[in-house]
Structure 1
Amino acid sequence: MTLDVIDRARAGQVALGTFVFEFDSNGIGRLAAGAGAEFVVFDAEHTGWGWETIGRLLATTRPAGIPAWVRVPSAEDRSAVSRALDLGARGVMAPMVESEEAARRLVAWSAYPPRGVRGAAFGIAHDDYVAGDFLDTIARANDDTVVIAQIETVAGLEEVERIAAVDGLDVLWVGHFDLTNSMGIPGRFDHPDYLAALDRVASAAADHGKLAGFMPTSVPQATDLVERGFRLLAYGGDLWIYQKALATDLGAIRSATDSGRT
């Protein structure tokens, strides 16, 4: 499931998904899948969701047949990585990864021995509560779990080639607002230094067999990212997509019925 998405992206196809920040509906993952999303990322960094909510979102997305990944609150919290994976996430995204050492820890926390140091618990949520051969479970999880490091600070950008070289890391993901903030050009997404940073991340990913990922919010932005070498794109987030679609259609109805407010 996860490997299908990652393998297609590695083969040069663009894999499209979305972020979920706000709508903790039991149907949100299946709605995303029904709209054509190939993966969904549930955010635990910028939301107030607890692990019970994350677990329910993961469980109700699994029947949709698309992988659900979790952005954990910190790259320095092993317990968050463990909980996300044990609850059924098929991958983890860590914010503000700034060094090769941090990337290596993230990979180790995400894999069972001998590849890593993930704690063992079998027959629980990540196994759909079905007992089985734990050796098969270990091998499958180690092969199928996606590990994503966010490059969103100057420190991370300066180390991006070393981070990209870490075995077991799958994706370098640019956090664009945080990166421009760190660069001293907040929100200047047309700034040549920022554009050079995008190219540097994409190049580091390609040089080391990794994928470059991003959260675009428009078709032109997505098109530009693909041209730069990004192949894993999570289009927008639930709250902004809803707000934008509602505003567009309400405005169209007001115009069509001449009922605009005065």
Structure 2
Amino acid sequence: MRPNTIKAEVMAGRPVAGAMVFEFFSPGMSAILANAGCRFAIYDMEHTGLGFETLKWLFATCRGLSIEPMVRVPRGEYPWIARALDLGARGVMVPMVESAEQAKAIVQACRYPPAGRRGAAFGFAQDDYAGGDVGEKVRAANARTMVLAQIETERGLEKVDEIAAVEGVDVLWVGHFDLSNFMGIPGRFDDPRFEQAMRRVAEVAKRHGKAAGFMATDRAWIERVRAMGYTMIAVGTDPGLFGAAVRGLVAQVAQGEGASR
């Protein structure tokens, strides 16, 4: 089984850039992101209509590319997690993790025995349909799988230290819109309470030897979270980046029209 090429870097606290994909589930997207320098792609199932059949196809488009396919599942439940891993996910992001017990169950779903309770399915997409020693496959799968626990509620923030202490949780990923909503300050990212929450997650992650992750939608966000210690960073959203690029060119056309009159 192919190893995860970014896990060691992420866990060492080195900056690793990638992307989250919400809308453009195209066969070329993986290559476009890889060519742009993204090291990982997280395909979103929580807020989109993305299903497992399309997810399997998207993961297949990552084969041979320098990009690690990951997924955000809708819930931290075994059927979502195990199936995504069987299809080839190298990492699983789980929303609204709020307790150590929940984090432990997520890790158990991601690991084969004796480390977890994941069911076996070899010779399929996750191991590129190849044969080989089952024991070695179990070891390789357990080693390469990344668990990204989203801290995005007031409950998760309260229990973040306990969640980070769970062995097998690799990344604490802040979902900033949800976190601000659950804190009662929706979208107020300049509020000192939100700033403190962001810093706390990064500090807790570092103390427990985990990484802190974030989806930064512009340069200002990237600079802000990098300064706090966030190192696994998804850049923008595909609809946002595409819309911004189109608006910029449309504005240039309009300026040119005015100048020609």
- Aligned partner letter, 1:173: W
Q: Cα distance, 1:259 vs. partner?
A: 7.8
CA contact (8 A) 1:62 1:68 kept: no
Q: Secondary structure at the match of 1:47?
A: coil
- Aligned partner letter, 1:98: E
Separation in 1, partners of 2:237, 2:133: 38
- Aligned partner letter, 2:74: P
Give TM-score, length-normalised by structure 2.
Answer: 0.96
Give a deviation string over 1:20-48, Cα, whole Å, max 9, x none: 01111111111100111011100000001
CA contact (8 A) 1:78 1:109 kept: yes
| Residue pairs, 1:127-206, within 5 angstroms | 127-206=127-206
Q: Cα distance, 1:3 vs. partner?
A: 4.2
1:68 aligns with 2:69: yes
1:23 aligns with 2:24: yes
Give a deviation string over 1:61-95, Cα, whole Å, max 9, x none: 222131111000012x2100011000000010000
Q: Cα distance, 1:9 vs. partner?
A: 3.1
| Residue pairs, 1:11-160, within 5 angstroms | 11-75=12-76, 77-160=77-160
Give TM-score, length-normalised by structure 1.
Answer: 0.96
Larger mean Cα displacement after TM superposition, 203-212 or 5-14: 5-14
Q: Secondary structure at the match of 2:27?
A: coil
Distance change (3 Å), C-alpha of 1:190 and 1:117? same
Separation in 1, partners of 2:64, 2:238: 20
| Residue pairs, 1:212-227, within 5 angstroms | 212-227=212-227
Unaligned ranges ≥5, structure 2: none
Unaligned ranges ≥5, structure 1: none
CA contact (8 A) 2:7 2:144 kept: no
Q: Cα distance, 1:254 vs. partner?
A: 2.0
- Aligned partner letter, 1:153: T
- Aligned partner letter, 1:71: R
* Count of matched residue pairs: 259
CA contact (8 A) 1:172 1:205 kept: yes
Distance change (3 Å), C-alpha of 1:252 and 1:2? farther
Identity of aligned pairs, percent? 47
RMSD of aligned Cα (Å): 1.4
CA contact (8 A) 1:216 1:235 kept: yes
| Equivalence for 1:258 | 258
Separation in 2, partners of 1:161, 1:2: 29
